[in-house]
């Protein structure tokens, strides 16, 4: 079963489940939805540019806003300048975050030019960054990495050993290469290899869509915790479902009423926050979330036709009112990710709504 908890030095994460950082998704509003549903031990911010933080860029600093009920929470940074990364990490510590994480996994072209998975090709620079950030902060330091740049340069075990040697205190592993993106299958054997190579906690990530998947990953790899990314965008209930499954071997499937309450409540929060990208965020979330809703295609069409946050809310209310008034004779669409959508980095081919990268 999924471990009840794990420790990163003196920080206890209970249960041993983590919300993965996702650009354009894991802002404070979405994180609080996840926290409110229960079952998630650790929240993480969108990955955030260290250069933007140190320049006090207003847009970038917005990514670091959080509320007290989000603890424990980790801020994830990306960048390639050791001095700037260290300075940004110290700012994160001063803001009250429980830990700071270095992104070594993002495959987006915009990010690999200045960090992300691009750093996996430069071990000396990576060591400089680790040492600089470790010296700059007292809070726990963690990393999230991919297997390597491509299939000919699988470096996850080497990076894990290096990280542990300079004071990194936990490692999340997504066992795909940068060149794979999100295609193919995550090689969980690599998570097991990292776990065997280090003594610090190892968090497994990749291809967990159900509580059963999480249980299999722990059994197969021996990892200390599981990290959920894309599945949380399509099924925010996956964390309490894992908790239910660990306790009883079963879990509840959200009803239409549950989905209505969550979607309507989340959209009301987005609307009330007066976000500059409110309509785009609503449409983006509808693309993922509605794949767990019967006749979800109609909901997606209605939301995409809306032009204001108020119109989006009206379309959601109309859809669920209609759903409640008829007897649905077909099973809902399976919870899953639309073929052209990637909650971590936006669509894989052009559509009308795109995720904003957390830079």
Q: What is the four-CA torsion angle of 86, 89, 91, 97, rounded to 10 degrees? A: -160
Catalytic residue, from 40, 106, 223, 287: name it. Answer: 106
Tell which phi-psi region holds residue 247, choosing left (phi > 0), alpha (psi between -120 and 50) or beta.
alpha
Q: Which residues of 71-110 are buried (b: 16+ CB within 10 A; e: fewer)?
A: ebbbbbbbbbbbebbbbbbbbbbeeebbbbbbbbbbbbee
Check if 268 is active-site. Answer: no
CA distance 22 to 358: 8
Question: 333 Cβ partners below 8 Å, 6+ apart?
Answer: 291, 292, 293, 294, 296
* C-beta separation of 265 from 298 below 8 A: no
Question: Rounded to whole angstroms, what are the CA distances from 314 to 66, 254, 256, 275, 317?
Answer: 28, 22, 17, 18, 5
Helices 296-305 and 309-325: crossing angle in degrees, nearest 10, is 150
Q: Which residues are catalytic?
A: 106
């Amino acid at each position: 079963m999924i471990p009840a908890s794990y420790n990163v030095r003196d920080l206890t994460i209970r249960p041993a489940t983590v919300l993965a950082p996702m650009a354009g998704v894991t802002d404070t509003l979405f994180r609080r939805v996840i926290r409110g549903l229960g079952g998630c031990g650790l929240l993480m911010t969108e990955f955030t540019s260290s250069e933007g933080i140190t320049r006090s860029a207003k847009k970038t600093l917005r990514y670091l806003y959080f509320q007290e009920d989000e603890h424990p929470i980790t801020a994830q940074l990306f960048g390639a300048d050791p001095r700037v990364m260290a300075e940004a990490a110290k700012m994160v510590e001063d803001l009250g975050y429980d830990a700071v994480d270095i992104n070594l996994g993002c495959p987006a072209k915009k990010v690999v030019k200045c960090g992300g998975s691009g750093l996996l090709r430069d071990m000396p620079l990576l060591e400089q960054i680790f040492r600089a950030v470790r010296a700059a902060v007292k809070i726990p330091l963690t990393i999230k990495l991919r297997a390597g740049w491509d299939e000919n340069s699988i470096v996850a075990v080497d990076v894990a050993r290096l990280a542990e040697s300079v004071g990194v205190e936990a490692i999340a592993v997504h066992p795909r290469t940068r060149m794979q993106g999100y295609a193919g299958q995550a090689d969980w054997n690599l998570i097991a290899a990292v776990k065997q190579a280090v003594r610090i906690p190892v968090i497994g990530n990749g291809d967990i869509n159900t509580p059963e998947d999480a249980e299999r990953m722990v059994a197969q790899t021996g990892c200390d915790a599981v990290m959920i990314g894309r599945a949380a965008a399509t099924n925010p209930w996956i964390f309490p479902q894992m908790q239910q499954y660990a306790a009883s071997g079963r879990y509840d499937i959200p009803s239409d009423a549950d989905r209505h309450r969550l979607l309507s409540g989340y959209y009301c929060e987005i609307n009330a926050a007066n976000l500059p990208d409110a309509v785009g965020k609503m449409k983006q979330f509808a693309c993922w979330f509605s794949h767990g809703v019967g006749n979800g295609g109609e909901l997606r069409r209605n939301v995409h036709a809306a032009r204001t946050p108020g119109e989006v809310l009206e379309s959601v209310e109309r859809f669920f009112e209609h759903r409640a008034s008829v007897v649905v004779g077909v099973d809902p669409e399976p919870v899953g990710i639309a073929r052209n959508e990637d909650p971590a980095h936006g669509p894989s081919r052009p559509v009308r709504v795109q995720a904003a990268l957390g830079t």
